[in-house]
C-alpha cells in the first residue's frame, strides 16, 4: 500500500477507529489495573449473570454487533448466497483445518498441562460470530459475505460443536495420551442459546433498524447521516467488553503470569497461522480483497463467549479449562487488531486498487459461481 493509499484509508476512519490500537491497549491496562487493585470487582461482575452468561459482557457484545449488522446490505444477500466456492473454503478452514491446528498446538505447547490444553481445544472449536464483524469492518472486508459466514458458523456450531468437543477432548486426546482422556458432555441447547443471544438479538435489531429508517427517511439519509453516527458506537461496545473481561481476570494476569504466558503462546501462533493460511489460500484462489479479508478474519477468530460458557458449565468457574478460555480473548484482541494492519499492508502488494489479484484481470465474485 502506498503512502497516499494509506492516508486515504486512515482519513476515512473515525477518530475512534483511527486510534483503535491505542484505545484497546489503554482499556486493557485499565481493566487489568482495576482487577488487580480491586479483585472483588470480579465477584461483582460475576453476580451480574444469568446462568453462565455475563450480563456486562453480553451488553457489550450485543451493542458491538448491532451497528455493524445494521450496515449489512441485506437486499443483496440473495446474490451473495450463490458464492458457494467462497463459503466452501471458509467452512473447511473453520471446521476442519482450524480445530486440527488448535488441537495440535494445544498438545505441542501444553502436553504437561491437561486442563489448559483442554481449554484451548474448546476455544479452537468455537468459531467466531461476534468480534469478527469488527475486524472485518476495520480491514475493509465484505460486510454481506461476513454476515452470511457468521450465520453459517452459527448453524454449524449448533449442529457439530458438541460432537467435535467430545471427539477432540475424549477420543483424539486418548489416541495421543495412550490412555483414557477426559469425557466432556456439551448440551446442544447451551450452544444454541449462546448463538441465539449473541447473534440473533443484534441481527434482528439490525434488520429492523435498517429497513425502518430507510422506509421513513430514505436510503441516502441512512447511508450519509444515520449509519456514520451509529457505526462508531460499535467501538465503544468493543472497548466496554474488553474492559470488563480484563478487569474480571486482572488478578490472574498479574499473579499467574507464567501460566498466562504458557496459554498465550499457542494462541498467538494459532491466530497468526490461521490468518496466514486463509489469506494466502484466498489470494491463490483469486478471491478479491474484500472476500479475502472476510475469509481470513473469520478463520482466525473465535467465539470466546461460547468457549467460556462451555468450560465453566462443564469444568467449573475455577477450573484450568475456564482460565484457558478466558485468556483466549485477551490474546485474540491485540493479535487480531494487529492482523488488521497486516491485511491492509499486504493488500498493497497482492491486490490492485479495484481489489482484484495483481496481474490477474478476471475478478472472482458472485457471478462466477
Domains and CATH numbers, the chain: 3-368 (1.20.1530.20)
Q: Residues 346, 130, 188, 248: what is their CA dihedral angle, to the nearest 10 degrees?
A: 110
> Using alpha carbons only, what angle is made at residue 342 by residues 73 and 299, rounded to the nearest 5 degrees?
55
pLDDT for 42 equals 74
**Residues with Cβ within 8 Å of residue 232, at least 6 apart in sequence:** 14, 15, 16, 17, 67
- From CA 115, how far away is CA 112, in angstroms rounded? 9
Per-residue pLDDT of the chain in tens (369 residues, 90 and over written 9) = 444 444 444 444 455 556 666 777 788 889 888 888 888 887 777 777 776 667 887 888 788 778 878 877 777 667 666 678 888 999 999 999 999 999 999 999 999 898 899 999 989 988 877 678 888 988 999 988 888 888 888 778 877 888 888 888 888 888 887 766 566 666 667 667 766 777 788 888 988 999 999 999 998 999 889 988 887 787 788 788 778 877 877 777 777 788 889 999 999 999 999 999 999 999 999 999 999 999 999 999 988 767 876 776 677 666 788 788 878 877 888 899 899 999 999 999 999 988 899 865 444 444 343
Instruction: Look up the pTM and report it.
Output: 0.76
Q: Which bin fits 351, alpha (ψ -120 to 50), beta or left (φ > 0)?
A: beta
pLDDT for 5 equals 43
Label residue 271 exposed, middle or buried (CB < 10 Å: 0-12, 13-18, 19+).
buried
pLDDT for 14 equals 53
pLDDT for 184 equals 61
pLDDT for 366 equals 42
What is the number of alpha carbons within 13 Å of residue 262 lying toward its C-beta?
20
Amino acid at each position: 500500500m502506498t503512502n497516499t493509499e494509506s492516508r486515504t484509508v486512515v482519513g476515512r476512519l473515525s477518530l475512534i477507529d483511527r486510534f483503535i490500537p491505542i484505545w484497546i491497549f489503554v482499556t486493557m491496562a485499565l481493566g487489568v489495573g482495576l482487577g488487580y487493585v480491586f479483585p472483588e470487582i470480579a465477584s461483582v461482575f460475576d453476580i451480574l449473570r444469568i446462568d453462565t452468561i455475563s450480563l456486562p459482557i453480553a451488553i457489550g457484545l450485543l451493542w458491538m454487533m448491532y451497528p455493524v449488522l445494521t450496515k449489512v446490505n441485506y437486499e443483496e444477500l440473495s446474490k451473495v448466497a450463490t458464492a458457494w466456492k467462497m463459503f466452501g473454503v471458509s467452512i473447511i478452514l473453520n471446521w476442519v483445518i482450524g480445530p486440527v491446528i488448535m488441537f495440535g498446538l494445544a498438545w505441542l505447547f501444553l502436553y504437561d498441562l491437561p486442563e489448559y490444553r483442554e481449554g484451548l481445544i474448546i476455544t479452537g472449536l468455537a468459531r467466531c460470530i461476534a468480534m469478527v464483524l469488527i475486524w472485518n469492518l476495520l480491514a475493509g472486508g465484505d460486510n454481506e459475505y461476513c454476515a452470511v459466514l457468521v450465520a453459517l458458523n452459527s448453524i454449524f456450531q449448533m449442529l457439530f460443536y458438541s460432537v467435535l468437543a467430545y471427539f477432540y477432548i475424549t477420543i483424539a486426546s486418548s489416541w495421543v495420551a495412550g490412555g483414557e482422556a477426559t469425557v466432556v458432555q456439551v448440551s446442544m441447547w447451551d450452544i444454541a442459546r449462546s448463538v441465539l443471544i449473541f447473534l440473533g438479538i443484534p441481527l434482528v435489531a439490525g434488520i429492523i433498524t435498517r429497513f425502518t429508517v430507510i422506509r421513513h427517511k430514505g436510503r441516502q439519509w441512512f447511508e450519509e447521516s444515520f449509519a456514520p453516527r451509529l457505526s462508531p458506537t460499535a467501538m465503544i461496545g468493543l472497548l466496554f467488553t474488553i474492559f470488563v473481561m480484563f478487569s474480571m481476570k486482572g488478578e490472574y494476569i498479574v499473579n499467574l503470569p507464567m501460566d498466562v504466558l504458557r496459554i498465550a503462546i499457542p494462541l498467538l501462533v494459532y491466530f497468526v497461522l490461521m490468518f496466514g493460511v486463509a489469506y494466502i489460500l484466498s489470494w491463490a484462489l483469486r478471491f478479491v480483497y474484500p472476500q479475502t479479508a472476510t475469509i481470513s478474519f473469520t478463520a482466525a477468530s473465535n467465539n470466546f463467549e461460547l468457549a467460556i460458557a462451555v468450560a465453566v458449565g462443564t469444568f467449573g468457574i475455577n477450573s484450568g479449562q475456564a482460565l484457558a478460555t478466558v485468556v483466549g480473548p485477551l490474546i485474540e484482541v491485540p493479535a487480531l487488531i494487529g492482523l488488521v494492519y497486516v491485511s491492509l499492508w499486504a493488500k498493497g502488494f497482492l491486490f490492485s486498487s479495484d481489489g482484484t489479484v495483481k496481474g490477474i484481470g478476471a475478478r472472482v465474485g458472485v457471478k462466477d459461481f
